[in-house]
Amino acid sequence: MPQKEWFATWFDSPYYHLLYQHRDDNEAKLFLDHLVQKLDLPSTARVLDLACGKGRHSLTLAQMGFEVVGADLAPNSILAAQEQADKLGVKNVAFSVHDMRQAMDTSPFDVVFNLFTSFGYFDTLAENQAVCKALSTMLTANGLLVIDFLNATKVCANLKPAETIEREGVVFDIKRWHNDTHIYKQIEVLAAQDQTQIGVFTERVQALSKNDFESLLAADFDIIETFGSYHLTPFDEKTSERLILIAKKKA
């Protein structure tokens, strides 16, 4: 049986969600408020949240009134997202287990959101190109794509090589490094009580620059705006926290 890719294993682990439970839902909502205003979306827009995790962005978009589909490779995340939608009584959202390298067999979307560094997990340029082709296929004519990625230049320049985090009786011993192509984070998971090792996971994301995205998207998209923060401030390669791209599908 072939070994699962690292992201399929780690993102579906309960320890992934425990480590990152501090994520700020208010910040996510503020970001989407800014984005939706900038994009000037009609209330009838059909939206895809690709690599949606537990659905925090999907649910926010649905609560704004859009018809939303949230898709992610991790079955446990999709289950949790659907449970939260049911709990909140949000009806205009559907969740699906899906690999972003393939187009979904569905009617097209007006906008695809790919948020919180949910791109660049793969090893080959061909896989990135497959994602871009799938994104184009799933969009309406002149449909919009929003990619929210890390600013690789700043991250590599300010990488914290090691830290230890404890949450709810679990210790995360974290090491970080980078090379010319990827940024790595090795996470050793230990039981706090006796330091017994539970598992070791390694996150790996391509260190993609603005120029890299311009090349990747060129065949199917025109980049129309670039921002450097969740407040949609201008992008600066040395100082910006994020690299946020808004692109339009070519006619």
Question: What global pTM score does this model have?
Answer: 0.92
- Specify the number of domains making up the chain: 2
Do both 57 and 91 map to the same domain?
A: yes
Q: What is the DSSP letter of 5?
A: P
Residue 1 lies in a domain: no
For residue 74, being part of any structural domain is answered with: yes
Domain final position from 185, 204, 223? 204
Looking at the fold, whether 58 and 108 belong to one and the same domain comes out as yes
197 with 139, same domain?
A: no
Write out pLDDT tens, residues 153-163: 999 999 999 99
Q: Do 79 and 184 belong to one domain?
A: no
Q: Is the pLDDT of residue 213 over 90?
A: yes
For residues 127 and 26, membership in a common domain is answered with: yes
Residue 50, Cβ density class (10 Å: 0-12 exposed, 13-18 middle, ≥19 buried): buried
Q: Which of 134, 99, 86, 117 is nearest to 230 (CA)?
A: 117
Q: Say if residue 191 is in the same domain as residue 173.
A: yes
The pLDDT assigned to 3 comes to: 57
Q: What pLDDT sits at residue 1?
A: 43
Q: What is the pLDDT of residues 45-92, one digit of tens each?
A: 999 999 999 999 999 999 999 999 999 999 999 999 999 999 999 999
Whether residue 127 sits in one domain with residue 173:
no
Does residue 177 sit in the same domain as residue 94? Answer: no
Which pLDDT tens digit goes with each residue over 103-142? Answer: 999 889 999 999 999 999 987 888 899 999 999 999 999 9
CB proximity list for 109: less than 8 A, separation 6 or greater: 46, 47, 48, 69, 138, 139, 140, 143
Does 172 lie in the same domain as 56? Answer: no
Sorting pLDDT into bands at 50, 70 and 90, what band is 233? very high
Confidence class for position 237, pLDDT limits 50, 70, 90: very high
For residue 4, pLDDT over 80 is answered with: no
